[in-house]
Chains A and B, each alone.
Chain A
């Protein structure tokens, strides 16, 4: 039988990186095909090529056995290929129906009620319920994903590509998504499922292709493999043991947040009476689907966003009305989720970035001038101590790899010997080795007695690092559970807004 899609020898270069190198892939009709690989393995690029977003530098795409070349995503859509991107690619101010019909509507002017009804019917037939007249920005990430899938189905996609679809879902929502995907495969569609999580790949896929370094390493049938074998294929060697967590008895309170309310970027309330405390030498993990107020919480603690009510105290000092600069001086370190957008200045070099929070420090100034000698000396020390790989400390940091960028950011934040470290998604997008290095750094700080607030969407990361885990949903704290008995199931329910009767509700 002719495979529905065959990719042969795909090569794709971006400035500074080769994303795909001689990648091959065969997709069959009616299968759920997982594309497994570490961050940076080239999974998304390869599928973006199939979806017509990028054009390959070399290689062929065969569709139903015949060669095709898509010059635009429109061509790929016409050929029946639909992709649901990680960030969904939806027009935020538009309604759900407008998004679903965008580019596919043929009539010159159509009434809203008739388009709404078409979308509603399509949603119901696949069990993907959304309100067609709702504006996309009002929807949760999970609902936006449903709109993305509906968009592809409306265009009659026979090959549906989902890029890391579970990153924005609770475990229960993910299970429901898997059921939908299986149903689609049974209807004869081909579903490609991009992931770096072994569990979910084993749960949903018929066949699994592993990508490493931009190349396909192997394609296997699920029934003939196991997680250990897949992990070895994915990383290229046996995966080292889990992070070792030394026991440290937490001491006094480092950070205390009481009754915190705050408004989001759109002027709506996104934090509702948040209470939390972080003790010295403790990692408090914050779990939750992204967009439930985690980012705003960290920004309020860092002083970048003003709270509308409530207090923030660090080491017993009230910081609620204190400037960000003063908080930094009081011992607050903050690793924001958007490293190059907020934490660092991508176009500037390592020295300038290390100086970011030290430009008012006497040790690094001479009168009105920057003491560049002292700044360079510190930069060299930090780059060595944190093993930051950079061609030169005078090269723009945006040219460094994601892992090295994150190490430099952590190095700078920790160089001030903080009392509190707020780390938001510290390993998102990093490969296994870099993530491991970041975990080690966080645990080292914990051992030093630093209080750590760790926000992550990766439940495994939270479970392995946190002493306690707090779950946020729609700007509320759903509860806090001890790290030891933190069951995935329970956290998942709380992430979806379900109250569970727990002992830790006290």
Chain B
């Protein structure tokens, strides 16, 4: 493997990881409020197709990305209406949204399958930073959304662990009864958190269709939403660790598609399996620290809240 190829893999890995980082950070915010959102995959798909369609219409990838965020947030709102408002089972509701998002994105994208987008996000070398040897080329010669990712990760960490609304968010996920008893609105917090998570997932999808691999095909995300959910566990609900894991997964993805370039001759089908198998392997490895991980999980994750229940 030449040093150049390694560098290419890392550069592509950061880009591939950005999709996962957006989705995983969003899911962390959602789960910190005690709501499990398994619909990430569906929200990413809807975000991806919306972003792509909008960009196709007006040729403005930024507006496309924002449209992707809004579409994801709208899906998040649907999830919240069901699991918070109607107190439905969070697992099934999430699965229903995956299926729904799959259908909706397929339906909306029928006419644009395989069409090239009029404009995409292109790499921008950051002055000074990009001239750092090696790291500069990997981290600071990327497109604008990758940089937005860096900022959002740091911002999410600061918000969750260092601010009052972040404390309130965590209290709702740990003990909604306690939060409720001190006057924090469990319902409002959860609605906002789930919509925020959906918006992040939509952004992740839009990044995929506008920057990472600018195109639309049905089921474009191919399980990345699920990998993001696994990342949340890997990250023990911490955005910084989710970023680390996301970029690592991105590098694995980038590596697997260049295996043939380094002379590994295995059929493409097996290469495509690697990210999924790697994810399962990671879940197995981290299960050894099971106790600490279980304690890190928001205690009320997956439970609906009703004040007058007894």
Contact = CB atoms under 8 A, between A and B. Distances in A.
B183 A91 contact: no
B273 interface: no
A90 B174 CA distance: 10
Given A102-B171, A105-B164, A91 B178 contact: yes
Interface stretch (A70-78, A196-204, A417-425): A70-78
A102 B167 contact: yes
Interface string A101-119: 0111111111000000000
A104 B182 contact: yes
A103 B184 contact: yes
Contact of B179 (A53, A75, A78, A103): A103
A73 B183 contact: yes
A53 B180 CA distance: 9
B174 A91 contact: yes
Given A14-B310, A54-B308, A94-B171, A89 B164 contact: no
A94 B174 contact: yes
Contacts of A164: none
Interface in B244-298: 291, 295
Contacts of B299: 92-93
B1 interface: no
A267 interface: yes
Contacts of A51: 181
Nearest to A93: B174
Contact of A92 (B162, B175, B308): B175
Contact of B175 (A74, A91, A110, A267): A91
B17 to A, nearest CB: 29
Contacts of B295: 93, 266
Contacts of A222: none
A108 B167 CA distance: 10
Contact of B171 (A91, A106, A110, A266): A91
B163 interface: yes
A38 interface: no
A72 B162 contact: no
A94 to B, nearest CB: 7
A235 B245 CA distance: 62
A104 B184 CA distance: 9
A74 B308 contact: no
Interface string A304-315: 000000000000
A72 B183 contact: yes
Interface in A103-138: 103-110
A395 B95 CA distance: 33
A33 interface: no
Contacts of A83: 181
In this complex, which of B178, B185, B307 has the most chain A Cβ atoms within 10 angstroms of its Cβ?
Answer: B178
A38 to B, nearest CB: 18
B168 interface: yes
Nearest to B298: A93
A475 B181 CA distance: 32
A102 B291 contact: no
Contact of A108 (B165, B175, B182, B307): B165
A110 B164 contact: yes
A93 to B, nearest CB: 6
B171 A108 contact: no
Interface string B157-192: 000001111011011001101111111110000000
Contact of A266 (B165, B174, B175, B291): B291
A91 B175 CA distance: 6
Nearest to B177: A89
A48 to B, nearest CB: 10
A98 interface: yes
Interface string B75-109: 00000000000000000000000000000000000
The 7 closest A-B pairs by CB, nearest first: A74-B183, A103-B182, A89-B178, A109-B163, A73-B181, A91-B174, A91-B175
Given A89-B178, A94-B170, 18 more contacts: A51-B181, A55-B308, A73-B183, A75-B183, A77-B183, A85-B181, A91-B170, A91-B171, A91-B175, A92-B175, A94-B174, A102-B168, A103-B179, A109-B162, A109-B163, A110-B164, A151-B182, A266-B295
16 contacts: A14-B310, A73-B180, A74-B182, A75-B183, A78-B183, A90-B178, A91-B174, A94-B170, A102-B168, A102-B178, A103-B182, A105-B167, A106-B164, A108-B164, A110-B164, A151-B182
Interface of A: 14, 51, 53-55, 72-75, 77-78, 83, 85, 89-94, 98-99, 102-110, 151, 155, 266-267
